[in-house]
Amino acid sequence: MAFLIQIDGEEHRVEVEKKGETFQISLGERTIEVDVALMAPGVYSLLIDGQSFEVAVDRQGEAAAVSIGRSVYALDITDERQRASRREKAGAKVIGKHTITAPMPGRVVKVLVKVGDTVKAGQGVVVIEAMKMETELTSLTDGEVKEVHVQEGNRVNGGDVLVVVE
């Protein structure tokens, strides 16, 4: 799953992928493996490169205060699905060709359209499952389905093209 995190006015794209019992976290070209244990509500123990960190997270909507030791960081966190949903709710429509991509690595659960189908903005086109959650991806434009690049059961990576609507 990809997140956009704003720290002190600077935006960073962070990708998080569950790998068995750990998480692989990528920020730019740097990737780390993190073992996470929930200690109490909002309090986590992180093991990174053999070092243990206690992290307290006070999340209120998209804002979060993250405490690591004596340092506190104010974060604004938005996942890419939320950003797309906000555009939809605001009535944003794409005009012309619209490429629907996987927002995160996962598995295609259901393909809701086929080439030649007519879709409306906001209509579901494919359902993917990632981190035990199903997400319906929707078209941001009215149009005709021109390409379907996946089938049910396919594994996809973040950014893979799933469907093209024009």
Q: Give pLDDT tens digits for 1-58.
A: 777 777 766 777 888 888 888 888 888 788 999 998 888 888 889 999 889 999 888 8
Domain with CATH 2.40.50.100 in the chain: 93-165
Rg over alpha carbons for the chain, rounded to the nearest Å, is: 18
pLDDT at position 146 is 95
What does pTM read for this prediction? 0.48
Burial class (CB within 10 angstroms; exposed 0-12, middle 13-18, buried 19+) of 46:
middle
pLDDT at 95 over 70: no
CATH number of the domain at 2-79, out of 3.30.700.30, 3.80.30.10, 3.30.450.90, 3.40.50.620? 3.30.700.30
CATH number of the domain at 93-165, out of 1.10.3720.10, 2.40.50.100, 3.40.190.10, 1.25.40.80? 2.40.50.100
Domain with CATH 3.30.700.30 in the chain: 2-79
Cβ(45)–Cβ(52) below 8 Å: yes
Helix (H, G, I), strand (E, B) or coil at 81: helix
pLDDT at position 148 is 96
DSSP string, 109-163: EEE---TT-EE-TT-EEEEEEETTEEEEEE-SS-EEEEEE---TT-EE-TT-EEE
Q: Give pLDDT tens digits for 60-94.
A: 766 778 888 878 777 777 765 555 555 555 454 55
pLDDT at position 8 is 64
pLDDT at position 54 is 92
